[in-house]
Amino acid sequence: MAQPALIPSRWEDAPDQGAPQAELLAGLAAPEAVISPKYFYDPLGSKLFEAICALPEYYPTRTEAAIHATHQQAIAASVGQGCTLIDLGAGNCAKAASLFAALQPRQYVPVDISADFLHQSVAGLQERFPQLPMLPLAMDFSTTLELPASVDGQRRLFFYPGSSLGNFDPRQALAFLRRVRAALPPGKGDGGILIGLDLVKDVRVLEAAYDDAIGVTASFNLNVLNHVNALTGADFNPRDWRHVSFYNARQQRIEMYLEARRDLIVRWPDGRRTFRQGERIHTEYSHKFTEQDILGLLEQAGFGNCRMWFDQRRWFAVCHAQAR
């Protein structure tokens, strides 16, 4: 597939995190070591996430898909048809594809950091929808969003499912939504944002979703070390680490870590770090939201006309909002 012409539009206030290698090594050297969750997604990580979505414990994917299926006519009425559908963190593109019939997009722009997985997913999708122009963009949208020239002048709908916004801390989440808002023309003519967010619920349901019985989420978490090794030349051995996750009720978030099973030294070209047994590397937050949190965030980011749809248990919310 030909690469589209790109209009540079670097986020104005995005931190310049530099190359992945520099960002990762800075995180490993920090007093409390950290690896951004965006590095989960190498080719194996993307497949492991697909497997997580099929787990009985991982309710978000099937709950959001059910909301889309139940309310697709109302969603289409709110969003309008014929937009350019920009899918932020498209993954296997399945959620967007399930809305094509209702939304009748003019073109589909899936964006994902996991380049190989994205291109494979889009190749399969293009066979199923040969008439729909598809312009996959392999990029890290947390630092930059370069939209293809063909998006210019089109009604845009930013699609941001999977509660991925919850991976940002609240300040970053607001900044990210403001950047999306800045990429939309004001007024009712635009498509706005269609976002899926996971809601606060019983801690047992939340904790099971991030620590499943057969260890797929643990593998997903541990695989980030293989990706870090590939990107930095570090010598992490995943066998030295274990998956830890829990719900922090005060902060309304799942926290995920890798914990050293023993005292060890991790080396990379020009550097090393000692980890004590029990020391942790932070790998993910997954913030959970109330309805009020969502409305407040969207409002502060410059969105209005919010409409929300829920599942019967009110475990998940899908929200459409337009730029004010």
- Contacts of 30 by beta carbon, 8 Å cutoff, 6+ apart: none
CB of 179 to ligand SAM, least distance (A): 12
Helices of type H across 31-186: 43-53, 59-79, 94-103, 115-128, 170-182
* 147 touches ligand SAM (CB under 6 A): no
* 223 touches ligand SAM (CB under 6 A): no
Instruction: Pick between residue 20 and residue 279 the one whose CB is nearest to ligand SAM.
Output: 20
Out of 91, 105, 191, 192, point to the residue binding ligand SAM (CB under 6 A): 91
Out of 4, 34, 41, 105, point to the residue binding ligand SAM (CB under 6 A): 41
CB of 186 to ligand SAM, least distance (A): 25
Instruction: Pick between residue 180 and residue 260 the one whose CB is nearest to ligand SAM.
Output: 180
Contact region with ligand SAM (CB under 6 A), list: 8-16, 38-46, 253-261, 289-297: 38-46
Out of 114, 154, 232, 245, point to the residue binding ligand SAM (CB under 6 A): 114
Applying CB under 6 A, what is the total number of residues that bind ligand SAM? Answer: 19
* 146 touches ligand SAM (CB under 6 A): no
**CA–CA dist 104, 79 (Å, integer):** 11
Out of 95, 156, 253, 287, point to the residue binding ligand SAM (CB under 6 A): 95
* 240 touches ligand SAM (CB under 6 A): no
Pairing of strands 84-88, 107-112: parallel
Contact region with ligand SAM (CB under 6 A), list: 100-108, 134-142, 199-207, 222-230: 134-142
Instruction: Pick between residue 60 and residue 80 the one whose CB is nearest to ligand SAM.
Output: 60
Contact region with ligand SAM (CB under 6 A), list: 71-79, 83-91, 236-244, 273-281: 83-91
CA distances, 119 to each of 116, 134, 140, 147 (Å): 5, 11, 15, 17
Out of 105, 136, 148, 161, point to the residue binding ligand SAM (CB under 6 A): 161
* 253 touches ligand SAM (CB under 6 A): no
* Amino acid letter, 201: K
**Starting from the edge strand earliest in sequence, which strands make up the sheet with 253-260, in order?**
241-248, 253-260, 280-287
Q: SS3 string of 62-73?
A: HHHHHHHHHHHH
Out of 142, 217, 232, 322, point to the residue binding ligand SAM (CB under 6 A): 142
* Residue 317 contacts residue 197 (beta carbons within 8 Å): yes
Token pair listed for 119: 């291109």
**CA–CA dist 298, 281 (Å, integer):** 31
CB of 283 to ligand SAM, least distance (A): 13
CB of 11 to ligand SAM, least distance (A): 11
From the list 177, 188, 158, the residue with the least C-alpha distance to 324 is 188
CB of 55 to ligand SAM, least distance (A): 13
Long-range contacts made by residues 47-52, C-beta under 8 angstroms, separation at least 24?
A: 47/117, 48/216, 48/219, 48/220, 48/223, 49/91, 49/220, 50/91, 50/92, 51/216, 52/212, 52/216, 52/217, 52/220
Instruction: Pick between residue 266 and residue 321 the one whose CB is nearest to ligand SAM.
Output: 321
Residues at the site binding ligand SAM, with contacts judged by CB under 6 A? 38, 41, 46, 49, 61, 89-91, 95, 111-114, 140-142, 161-162, 164
